[in-house]
Amino acid sequence: MSSEFISPTGNRNKPEVFRANSGFPDFDSTGLIRRTDPVDSCLLNLRTKYDVVIAGAGHNGLVAAGYLAQAGKSVLMLEKNPEIGGATKSARIFDGVDAKISVYSYLVSLFPRKIAKDLGIDLQLKRRKIASYTPDGIGELLVSNVDESVTRDSFHELTGTDRDYLGYLKLQEAQERVAKVIWPGLLNPLVDREALLSGLQPEDRRAFFEEPLGNLIESHLDHDLIRGMVFTDAKIGVLTEPEDATLLQNRTFLYHIIGRGTGKWQPPAGGMGALVDQLESVARRAGTEILTGAGVLEIGPGSGNSDHEVRFSLDGQEQSVRARFVLQNHTPPHPSGEVDREREGSVFKINLMLKHLPALKSKTVSAEDAFCGTFHIDEGYEKMRADYWAVDAGSLPEDPGCEIYCHSLTDPSILGEEVREKGWQTLTCFGLDAPYGLFESDNEALRQLTLERAFRVINEHLT
Ligand SMILES: Cc1cc2nc3c(=O)[nH]c(=O)nc-3n(C[C@H](O)[C@H](O)[C@H](O)COP(=O)(O)OP(=O)(O)OC[C@H]3O[C@@H](n4cnc5c(N)ncnc54)[C@H](O)[C@@H]3O)c2cc1C
């Protein structure tokens, strides 16, 4: 939903408008984005049959390709877009600005060290000094990754007691207990639900897997802002609320707390694209063939015993290839053609370049601290619940909850030397409660409305 980005530099500064490239960027010289090879030469080299065809070249498909090709299988990847990486790509999206933006996904937690080791990938993660900053115009909360006393003092300052801080610690202990049981399950052979959950304490099983997550949060924390800060991990990317009977909020929360057994989220050095570049070269070196601009149309039975036939479109022409196995690394459309609420994305992302960090209204927290962690805006607990019901009734929230984050503060290597010397910074705004289904009716108008509202709520915290 993006083509024009306006930096929310606040009243003190003139608004600066950056226009993102209209087409797909062409960064062949850097190897960052690969242009589609000429169709004829691609097809000339294509075999008629592969051991494995992988539909979609996101990072999960690339990992699978790396393993399979290293095991000696013939692998073909078919990617609809002109570039590789899916939601983990990086690109220089601002004309004339040398800044590699992690366009969608930007933090890593769920990528197991074992996979990096097996594939020979050097995955370096940066450490963010501040985990999060959450102001609400009255109070503010700062959670540090390096100094526990900063976090404790901030909880006390906000609430006037230690109760929420102690509740927060207890909650984290419970999360760590759950993470220790669930995280290894991502790499071990699949077991059934009972076998997996049997390793949990009964109260953890109930709180994380059987009851709506709202109960757990409300029993540990009193302050609305602190409850909200915790609940964002259950809501980011999907449309849900604390009491959601489908437990979508519980599942989303689990994804956010189990990573590497700690639930820590860190930016990869060089941005997401640096990780994807490594995955791509591992897969290619092992012999994987990758065809971009190739959208899979249908996966059907082939003529051989266990073969499949994959039909795809390349440069407007329909092609097909046979495979023993097909891995589907993209979400297929819902059979009914309708949007499935539990799988529907509910997020907007705005990428910006700033000529300098905006000044904050806060008298106690510096802009560097606030922007280097996750800066929560309008993400109070009851506010998010109300927004859910507003969206459920068909309208976008007046004041969209969102999180902003300055990647280049933690990892200046994503900026070219000139941009770095000028002191420019990237800023990402990741917004809640923007379900795909609502935008379908008039994407352009709702996109504009979302931009205006997001900048308004961000500017509330800037001088
Ligand atoms: C805005 C946003 C921010 C996010 N932030 C984070 C984050 O910070 N950290 C995190 O861990 N996760 C994050 N996520 C989630 C994460 O990005 C995804 O879970 C992950 O990228 C999924 O990877 P994948 O390889 O499975 O699929 P994808 O990355 O979705 O890749 C699927 C690929 O399939 C291709 N494709 C689609 N249809 C076809 C077709 N018919 N034929 C051929 N190819 C096709 C697509 O073009 C794409 O390249 C975020 C998601 C979004 C949307």
Record the tokens describing residue 25, joined without a space. Answer: 């960027």
Task: Report ipTM for this prediction.
Answer: 0.99
Burial of 107 (0-12, 13-18, 19+ CB in 10 A): buried
Q: Rounded CA gap, 395 and 445, in Å? A: 13
Record the tokens describing residue 86, joined without a space. Answer: 């899916």
Sort residue 72 into left (φ over 0), alpha (ψ -120 to 50) or beta. Answer: left
Instruction: Give the pLDDT confidence score for residue 440 in this predicted structure.
Output: 87
- Take atom 11 of ligand 1 and give the residue whose Cα is closest: 108
Q: For each of the chain's 463 residues, which pLDDT tens digit applies?
A: 333 333 332 233 322 323 333 332 322 222 222 333 444 445 557 899 999 999 999 999 999 999 999 999 999 999 999 999 999 999 999 999 999 999 999 999 999 999 999 999 999 999 999 999 999 989 999 999 999 999 999 999 999 999 999 999 999 999 999 999 999 999 999 999 999 999 999 999 999 999 999 999 999 999 999 999 999 999 999 999 999 999 999 999 999 999 999 999 999 999 999 999 999 999 999 999 999 999 999 999 887 666 899 999 998 999 999 999 999 999 877 777 776 767 788 999 999 999 999 999 999 999 999 999 999 999 999 999 999 999 999 999 999 999 999 999 999 999 999 999 999 999 999 999 999 989 988 999 999 999 999 999 999 999 9
Distance between Cα 272 and ligand 1 center (Å) = 12
Distance between Cα 436 and ligand 1 center (Å) = 15
CB of residue 196 inside a 6 A radius of ligand 1: no
Instruction: Give the pLDDT confidence score for residue 305 in this predicted structure.
Output: 65
- Take atom 1 of ligand 1 and give the residue whose Cα is closest: 104
Tell me the CB-side half-sphere exposure of residue 209, using CA atoms within 13 A: 18
Phi and psi angles of residue 13, each rounded to the nearest 5 degrees, phi first: -110, 155
Tell me the CB-side half-sphere exposure of residue 212, using CA atoms within 13 A: 12
Cα 433 from chain centroid (whole Å):
15
CB of residue 106 inside a 6 A radius of ligand 1: yes
Distance between Cα 113 and ligand 1 center (Å) = 20
Contacts of 29 (CB under 8 A, 6+ apart): none
Q: Rounded CA gap, 315 and 312, in Å? A: 10
Distance between Cα 90 and ligand 1 center (Å) = 12
E strands, 80-213, in order: 90-91, 101-102, 130-135, 140-144
Distance between Cα 410 and ligand 1 center (Å) = 23
CB of residue 78 inside a 6 A radius of ligand 1: yes
CB of residue 154 inside a 6 A radius of ligand 1: no
Distance between Cα 232 and ligand 1 center (Å) = 20
Q: Is 198 in a helix, a strand, or coil?
A: coil
CB of residue 107 inside a 6 A radius of ligand 1: yes
Which of 239, 329, 430 has most ligand 1 atoms within 8 Å of CB, for mutation?
A: 329
Instruction: Give the pLDDT confidence score for residue 205 in this predicted structure.
Output: 98
Atom of ligand 1 nearest to the CA of 107: 8
Distance between Cα 88 and ligand 1 center (Å) = 6
Distance between Cα 198 and ligand 1 center (Å) = 32
* 155-185 pLDDT tens trace: 999 999 999 999 999 999 999 999 999 999 9
CB of residue 57 inside a 6 A radius of ligand 1: yes
Which of 33, 80, 439 has most ligand 1 atoms within 8 Å of CB, for mutation?
A: 80
Task: Report the candidate in 248, 246, 239 with the shortest Cα–Cα distance to residue 397.
Answer: 239
Instruction: Give the pLDDT confidence score for residue 44 in this predicted structure.
Output: 56
Q: Rounded CA gap, 355 and 322, in Å? A: 51
CB of residue 86 inside a 6 A radius of ligand 1: yes
Record the tokens describing residue 5, joined without a space. Answer: 């980005």
CB of residue 129 inside a 6 A radius of ligand 1: no
The number of helices, as runs of H, and strands, as runs of E, in the chain is: 17, 16
CB of residue 55 inside a 6 A radius of ligand 1: yes
Q: Rounded CA gap, 8 and 191, in Å? A: 48
- Take atom 33 of ligand 1 and give the residue whose Cα is closest: 56
Distance between Cα 65 and ligand 1 center (Å) = 16
* 359-403 pLDDT tens trace: 999 999 999 999 999 999 999 999 999 999 999 999 999 999 999
Instruction: Give the pLDDT confidence score for residue 363 in this predicted structure.
Output: 92
